[in-house]
Amino acid sequence: MKVTLLAYTPNPADIAEISAKTCYSSKPPSEIEPTEDKKVLSNALLSGHTSVLEHAVFTFSIEGISRACSHQLVRHRMASFSQQSQRYVAMDDDIKSNFILPDSFERAFDFEGQNGMGWGSEGCLENFVKDYFIELHTLVERARKCGIPEEDIRYFYPNGMMTNIVVTMNARELLHFFSLRCCNRAQWEIKQLADSMLSICREVCPEIFKYGGANCEQLGYCPEVKSCGRKETLTKIMDGVKK
């Protein structure tokens, strides 16, 4: 996985601050000067007035994630996406190198289990992967020779196939994205993606993205039904208050 910030609104914190001040000023936005301490912006964000962040946008290049990950990513609807097409880009030249293999596969194949009932044996994972991709490559080639169009051949490809995508989100949606996907209970790959994007955003605009991260970091409690253990759930806290 490789995450690169391609472009972003210049001086995003200044733009957000000017937007916040406009709501309470008789001056036109063009005459409002941003401040160094960003106190007005901080107060707005702490009060939940995050609409001012929508004026700052960030565009990322995301390379080498799985289709399983990208399917989760595009569920965030307040964003723009341009994704590599499996209809026009042949994926079978080297299918194995264009595939994401989760670490859980390696752990499972290394585990022999009780009474030797696991998958564990020397070279087992390597042989499994090799056989799988030989079979998939053979299937794709046979389909192509039979005249099946590329747009239908892609139906053979698994969710683990790699893809590239350009993503644009405004700062408000990014904070929402981070609140959900930086959570320890998020699926491992999109969490890795969200953590990388947050790290980049904090570097270019700490005034806004110091508020970024899993929901529990801002709320002080876990909003999920089941906590990872990092914070208590609200239900458990309220039960304690009642007692």
Residues 167, 130 within the same domain: no
Residues 26, 129 within the same domain: no
Mean pLDDT, rounded, for 12-38: 94
Tell me which of 195 and 137 has the higher pLDDT: 195
Q: The whole model's pTM is what?
A: 0.88
Range of the domain at 144: 102-156
Q: Cα 45 vs. chain centroid, distance in angstroms?
A: 23
* Structural domain includes residue 175: yes
* Structural domain includes residue 30: yes
Query: How many domains are there within the chain?
Result: 3
pLDDT tier at 105, thresholds 50, 70, 90: confident
Q: What is the pLDDT of residues 193-215, one digit of tens each?
A: 999 999 999 999 999 999 999 99
Residues 168, 122 within the same domain: no
Active site residue 181: yes
Mean pLDDT, rounded, for 83-102: 80
Mean pLDDT, rounded, for 67-91: 92
* Structural domain includes residue 119: yes
The answer on pLDDT for 114 being more than 60 is no
**Which stretch of DSSP H or E encloses residue 57?**
strand 57-66
* Structural domain includes residue 95: no
- Strands 162-170, 79-83: pairing is antiparallel
Active-site annotation holder among 75, 77, 181, 230:
181
* Structural domain includes residue 87: no
Q: What per-residue confidence (pLDDT) applies to 243?
A: 63
Q: What per-residue confidence (pLDDT) applies to 107?
A: 75
| Sheet-wide strand order for 162-170 | 2-8, 57-66, 162-170, 79-83
Contact status, residue 64 vs residue 7, Cβ threshold 8 Å: no
